[in-house]
Amino acid sequence: MGTGHSIDSPIRVAPYGINSVISVVDDLLVEKIRKYYAEKFALPYKNIPRSAEDGRAKRITAYLNLVHDIVHQKFEELRTEPFLSDNDKAKYFRMLPDESSLKTAYQKLMDTAESERQNLAEKLNNLMQPGSIDVNIMAKVDKLNLTKSGEPMSAEYSDGSAALRGYANSKLSSNLILSAGFNPRLYNYLAEFQDFYRDASGNIKKKIILKVSDFRSALIQGKYLAKKGLEVFEYRIESGLNCGGHAFATDGLLLPVLLKEFKEKKEMLSSAIRPLVEKFYEDERDGFSPDWKFEEPRITVQGGIGTHGEMQRLIKEYDMDSTGWGSPFLLVPEATTVDQTTRSLLENAKEEDLYLSGVSPLGVPFNNVRQTGSRIWHEERIEKGKPGSPCPKGFLESNTEFTENPICTASTQYQLLKIDQITQADYAEDKKGRLKTKVLDKACLCDHLGNGALIQLGIQKESRSPQAICPGPNIAYFNGEYSLEEMLNHIYGRGESLVDGDRPHMFAKEMRMYVDYLQDLIDVSDSDPNENRKLTKFRDNLEAGMDYCLEIAHSNGYEGENLESIKTTVEAEKARLEQMFQLAVA
């Protein structure tokens, strides 16, 4: 969802019992949003300047505490509303899934005689809970920082560690989602904070969720943390390509193949890890109490889910504990903070407008939509001979090709230097053109991903705030602005679907994206034998995944699943694979 579009989502949806996630990559954006909401709710605010000692951590802590206070204030106001009225309290219960025990109790209350409602109403009020205010940290966005005099700061002041400290010091009792790879230094730092460990009663105040790309990665990371006594509450599987934001492609392993492995090996995530946790508590603490409840880690999935039927397959066929929906909520103003220009762009976006881009300075493919304010702004600067960005925040500074201290590949400084190097190189003109295009593709995500929220809240003017956004391809099939209740009804299969019946199945869409991705790899590959072996392995994994998808296509479908699209996609993409490798050999 980027840095800005869910920056205040908990304030919007948590009072209704809905969980959401805040990204804390951009602490400078966080500070602006804190000021806005402190003024809106007449709460105390004191600026934490950019120059403040440990300012990044302090800004994040202050904002998360503010969000906590606002959410609980709004939730208590909602909870005190009367039953039997068309109010936010009724909306809270209407939006629950039909199988929810809380919703069943609410319906029982509605059917109970007035003289007998008081006790039931009190019990129901006590059962209501706000949604969790979860926090995401990209583990690999962990730049080491310098003092004002240019000396390296110690590791605990790196961007990742400071963000972690900001969350750990907050009053939140919620989940920390670690994404974008394994960072041992950051994982070691988790052990410094008691909130990630069990208290005397066996409760964990702040739980760990890992975004993972495959089972092996989940097991390795889970064991690494367990040796420190840290338990993974949830493993969150994400499609390698069919997702929003950065895309971390597998070696051709399709999502259903990965889900099948998780289902078959799920018990290993407990049997291999629990002994390590217990040993830690025996050696380092007062022991692991037999009275403590040791829950099986949750296994969840996200990336490209678009219908209730697809969700049902993921839960019922693969034993997923829940599913995550992101991009469709960019079209729900009650849930996300997106400026109107960008929201209209998303409403009208077609399949061909959504693409896997090279705009990220991290060098990782990035799901994008054409003609964003950010892209237009960058193209105007290129035409003026000033490519790139001034780099106002520097969170993605990592390149030392031309400088002693790291700079960002989306910065004007880097792009001018790199283009000059390419111009002077002894390359054919067409190769120079391709290399320059790749350089100029890089965009200022640090700043531009937060601008949509600042525009929508009236903090900054659109004319001075280029907007970037990173929807998954799935958003092409949603073509309107929706209420929160409409989107939840769609997710839970209540009423008319928000997408057309000919929308390709999420497995079919991912399959096509992986073949496109392989074609790109072939296009830039050379004749190196190792490279050829990797490409062949990728193709073999992809073909095996297609065969498995074909089995799924011939199974009994769930309502709203377009299984026919899987069959036609397998046929078309297998033919394309064969042609690609014939040409590559030739």
Q: Is residue 143 part of a domain?
A: no
Predicted local distance difference test score (pLDDT) of residue 291: 85
Residue 433 located in a structural domain: yes
Alpha carbon separation from 204 to 139, 167, 236 (Å, rounded): 21, 15, 19
Write down the pLDDT at residue 585.
Answer: 55
Q: Tell me, what's the pLDDT at 314? A: 97
Residue 350 domain flag: yes
Q: How many domains would you assign to the chain?
A: 1
Residue 118: what pLDDT? Answer: 87
Interval 111-122: pLDDT, tens = 888 778 888 899
Per the structure block, which two tokens stand in for 24?
């804390």
Is 428 within 8 Å of 422 (Cβ atoms)? no
Q: What share of the chain is helix, strand, coil (3-state, %, to 5)?
A: 50, 10, 40
Neighbours of 316 (CB within 10 A): 10
- Residue 90: inside a domain, yes or no? no
First to last CA, the chain: 42
Does any domain span residue 486? Answer: yes
Residue 421: in which H helix or E strand, if any?
A: helix 412-424
**Inside any domain, residue 473:** yes
Q: What is the pLDDT of residues 292-322, one digit of tens each?
A: 888 899 999 999 999 999 999 999 999 999 9
What are the DSSP calls for 488-534, one per residue?
Answer: HHHHTT-SS-SS-TTSPPHHHHHHHHHHHHHHHHHHH--S-HHHHHH
Does the residue 133 lie in any domain?
A: no
d(CA 328, CA 337): 13
In sequence order, the 6+-apart residues with CB closer than 8 A to the CB of 69 are 43
What's residue 584's pLDDT?
Answer: 60
Q: Can you list the residues of the chain whose pLDDT is less than 50?
A: none
Which residue type, as a one-letter code, is found at position 583? L
* Residue 583 placed within a domain: no
Radius of gyration of the chain (CA): 25
Q: Which residue has the tokens 């840095």?
A: 3
Range of the domain at 379: 335-498
